[in-house]
Amino acid sequence: MTTTDPTALTDDALREQVRAKYAQAATQTGSCCSPAVATTDEDGSQVFGAALYDAGEAADAGDAAVNASLGCGMPTAVADLHDGETVLDLGSGAGADVLISARRVAPGGRAIGLDMTDEMLEVARKNAHEAGVQNVEFVKGYLEDIPLSDATVDVVISNCVINLAGDKHQVLAEAARVLRPGGRFAVSDVIADPGMDDATKRDMQQWTGCVAGALTRAEFEDALAAAGLVDVEITETHRVHEHASSAIIRANKPAR
């Protein structure tokens, strides 16, 4: 267990811890080294990563992008994407969900991947090139300060990344800001049990492993409402830790 207590860090310091961990994960893609981020639970069951994609989803993204995934679900499976839409993936990593989305919204739509890690952006662009997907764009930026104009995307997706942010209320406010009226929010993320113990919350490895920083169901519902999103649905899919579950989280931005 690392001695760094994530609950004692500033948001900027916490972000740097997360960035460094996922930069390491990007550079280890395809290597024989131990992964920087664990994809199994305490019992060895696969709870994150490529195993969560079905064959159809994997085929749309390509093996390289899917095998490098560190997500906890498949947000594209519930986002109900349509031709011509613009999709934004928060924390796009190696690009699997961006590539899947791009194929779903083609020919008139596009998919944008947002990530703060240069190493992940390099991997994602390479994966898009190798998959021959052109209606994609990968941009560098922070979830708390999305570098897009107001009301410019139809759908916001994310795969197990919001839990890593220090200020999740700001992340959700930014997601609501860039959504067009009537737009959709559909993410996979980890939700914490209300009784998560302090030792887990203060373990940096559990934070960068997508557990310690997770909101509870009630906290996520309140944060989405505070961001102005409605029709909130949270559906648990599988356990990822003794104190947390993966879930599909959906909401809508009210139409004008």
- CA–CA separation, 221 and 211 (whole Å): 18
Averaged pLDDT for residues 24-53: 60
User: Over 70: is that where the pLDDT of 41 sits?
Assistant: no
pLDDT (0 to 100) of residue 31: 34
- Comparing 34-38, 173-177, 248-252, which segment has the lowest mean pLDDT? 34-38
**What residues contact 128, with CB distance under 8 A and at least 6 apart?**
95, 98, 99, 102, 134, 136, 138
- CA–CA separation, 207 and 164 (whole Å): 7
How many CB atoms within 10 Å of residue 50?
18
Does the bond joining 6 to the residue before it have cis omega, within 30 degrees of 0? no
- Comparing 15-19, 23-27, 87-91, 179-183, which segment has the lowest mean pLDDT? 23-27
User: Over 90: is that where the pLDDT of 48 sits?
Assistant: no
- Comparing 18-22, 142-146, 151-155, 192-196, which segment has the lowest mean pLDDT? 18-22
Amino acid at 147: P
Query: In this structure, what token pair is assigned to residue 236?
Result: 């648990």
Asked whether residue 125 is domain-assigned, the answer is yes
User: Over 60: is that where the pLDDT of 99 sits?
Assistant: yes
Averaged pLDDT for residues 165-189: 97
Query: In this structure, what token pair is assigned to residue 4?
Result: 């760094």
Asked whether residue 1 is domain-assigned, the answer is no
The tally of domains found in the chain comes to 1
Strand partners, 186: 157, 250
Angle at 34 between CA 41 and CA 116, to 5 degrees: 85
- Comparing 31-40, 50-59, 244-253, which segment has the lowest mean pLDDT? 31-40
Parent domain of 182: 6-252
Asked whether residue 108 is domain-assigned, the answer is yes
Looking at per-residue confidence, does 53 or 82 come out higher? 82
User: Over 60: is that where the pLDDT of 146 sits?
Assistant: yes
User: What does the DSSP 8-state code read for residue 253?
Assistant: P
Q: Check which CATH number belongs to the domain holding 209 and give it.
A: 3.40.50.150
Q: Which of 139, 146, 54, 152 is nearest to 98 (CA)?
A: 139
- CA–CA separation, 162 and 144 (whole Å): 10
pLDDT (0 to 100) of residue 58: 66
Q: What are the pLDDT digits (tens) for 198-229?
A: 999 999 999 988 899 999 999 999 999 999 99
Instruction: Provide, rounded to the nearest whole percent, the portion of the chain with pLDDT above 90.
Output: 71
pLDDT (0 to 100) of residue 39: 59
Answer yes or no: are the C-beta atoms of 120 and 26 closer than 8 Å: yes
Averaged pLDDT for residues 1-10: 77
User: Over 80: is that where the pLDDT of 60 sits?
Assistant: no
**What residues contact 92, with CB distance under 8 A and at least 6 apart?**
98, 113, 114, 115, 120, 124, 138
User: Over 50: is that where the pLDDT of 74 sits?
Assistant: yes
Q: Measured in whole angstroms, how far is the alpha carbon of residue 98 from the centre of its chain?
A: 11
pTM of the model: 0.90
Residue 68 buriedness (CB in 10 A; 0-12 / 13-18 / 19+) = buried
Answer yes or no: are the C-beta atoms of 248 and 186 closer than 8 Å: yes
Q: What are the pLDDT digits (tens) for 8-33?
A: 999 999 999 999 988 888 877 543 33
Query: In this structure, what token pair is assigned to residue 193?
Result: 């049990």
User: Over 60: is that where the pLDDT of 35 sits?
Assistant: no
Answer yes or no: are the C-beta atoms of 160 and 70 closer than 8 Å: yes
Between the ranges 42-46, 136-140, 203-207, where is the mean pLDDT highest?
Answer: 136-140
